Structure 1
Amino acid sequence: MTLPTRSYAAFLFDMDGTILTSIASAERTWTKWAIAHGLDVATFLPTIHGVQSVETVRRLGLPGVDPVVEAAAITAAEMEDVEDITPIRGAADFLATLPAWRWTIVTSAPRALAERRLAAAGLAIPAQFIAAEDVANGKPAPDCFLLAAERLGVPASDCLVFEDAPAGIAAADAAGSDVVVITATHGRDHRVDAARHAIVDYDGVELTADGPGRWRLGRE
């Protein structure tokens, strides 16, 4: 498990599986939906993470199913199921150390659901963050990270992205950003490319200034 050695001007965080875990609640909702549509749950569930709900439904190509309508219903159900959502270890303390104008959240979740989950986990909600509604093309397209960098006023190549899912990692790569993979919610069968920077969680991770408007990560 390693951290990058260079400094950055801004920090971009995926939400689910990266700063909080809502896997249990999301999978409960999606399991009910999958059963109702005759899908094999064990095969289907791994495909829901890291991408917009509407894209998850759309790529199934189910006859007579409107992806937009189904995604809205799924989001409404997810908004009601937040009781066991918790922050990734150390996330709250680490986020509190970041300059408010140089970090944000970049999530595939709709804004209302993201705010609901962040509040349930007791995590800070940035003044502005990128949600599903903000981009035409969700992860693995780079649009969301490019937009986040633009709003923070820095090049995407000078941003460090924290991600957990393949679609998000691919999006960050395509945007030209460096990536730290958070493995807290990865199962034993999940393999992270050995060339990637990766940490389990944020426990002991600290931020230090490295010149005007630049910071680097380290360990306590």
Structure 2
Amino acid sequence: MAGRGSSLPEGRYSAFLFDMDGTIINSIAAAERIWGAWAVRHGLELASFLPTMHGSRAVDTITRLGLPGIDPEAEALKITDAEITDVEGIVEIPGAADFLRSLPANVWGVATSAPRDLALRRMKAAGIPVPAVLVTAEDVAVGKPSPDCYLLAAQKLGVDAGSCLIFEDAPVGIAAGEAAGATVLVVTETHGHPTDASHSTIKNYEKIFAKADEDGFVSLEERAT
């Protein structure tokens, strides 16, 4: 484990809520292939643009650019279609699939900025189980860093977002988790540099496991080495 807050968050939680890309799956190679080609076509400088597109809905990323003559919704649909087609190199964050399968179905969900069809395609490619609660880009009017997706996921699970542990990787997602009033745990597997977040961090899921108690709460434990 690494980072400023490397120890696991203590306590019991009503549910675990997960972001998808960078948190339970590694889709960087595919995403940067597709977004990189799009950026070049529109004359954007790759080194400065690519870090800005992680964690946000495609339509929000494009809208922020303010490119003249561009319809963000139409462009986002094109990018999503390309991402659904190209899942080469998409893999689980180490240990994620087994960790998720170990959780009772009623205590976890995924809240992602990806559209539903893309989320299902990527989870299948990475061998990730599909949760009973899956909140995607179409389900909220405002994407991350708004907390709406996490508030909705908690509602669907019948719990308060403030009693949840949110697993995130990107700054906009971390901000969304904070705004939801939840405890945030940062997954650093895909980070090229140490995280500046003050939250607890894990590299991946290989050294942790979940415990569910008789009252229906879940907590995290570190595997003995």
* Fold-level similarity (TM above 0.5): yes
- Aligned mates of 1:55, 1:163 — CA distance in 2: 18
Matching of residue 14 in structure 1 with residue 19 in structure 2: yes
Alignment match, 1:213: 216
* Cα distance in 2 for residues equivalent to 1:219 and 1:148: 26
Answering whether residue 171 of structure 2 is matched by residue 197 of structure 1, we say no
User: Which whole-Å CA distance do the structure 2 matches of 1:134 and 1:51 have between them?
Assistant: 14
Aligned residue in 1 for 2:53:
48
- 2: distance between equivalents of 1:61 and 1:106? 26
Partners of 1:191 and 1:172 in 2: CA distance? 16
Distance 1:19 1:7 in 2: 21
Residues matched between the structures, number: 218
Distance of 2:10 and 2:132 partners within structure 1: 29
Instruction: State the distance in 2 between where 1:146 and 1:83 align.
Output: 32
- Native 8 Å contact 2:133 2:157 kept in 1: no
- Cα RMSD, aligned residues only: 0.9
Partner residue, 2:3: none
Q: List gaps (5 residues or longer) in structure 1.
A: none
The partner residue of 1:124 within 125, 129, 141 is: 129
Identify the residue that residue 87 of structure 2 maps to in structure 1. Answer: 82
| Identity percentage of aligned residues | 56
Amino acid at match of 1:187: G
Which aligned segments of 4 or more residues in structure 1 are displaced greater than 3 angstroms? none
SS in 1 for 2:134: coil
1:172 equivalenced with 2:171 (yes/no): no
Question: Aligned letter for 2:97?
Answer: A
What residue number does 1:99 align with?
104
* Superposition pairs of residues 129-148 of structure 1, within 5 angstroms: 129-148=134-153
Does structure 1 retain, via aligned residues, the 8 Å contact 2:133–2:153?
no
Structure 2 stretches lacking a partner, 5+ long: 1-5
Residues 73-125 of structure 1 show CA distances to partners (whole Å, capped at 9, x for unaligned) of: 00001111102100001101110111101101100000000000000001101
Using the alignment, how far apart are the partners of 1:49 and 1:183 within structure 2? 14
The match for 2:32 among 21, 27, 33 is 27
TM-score by length of 2: 0.95
Q: Report the Cα distance in structure 2 between the residues aligned to 1:4 and 1:191, rounded to whole angstroms.
A: 16
SS state at 2:22 partner = coil
- Helix, strand or coil: the match of 1:113? helix
Q: TM-score, normalised by structure 1?
A: 0.97
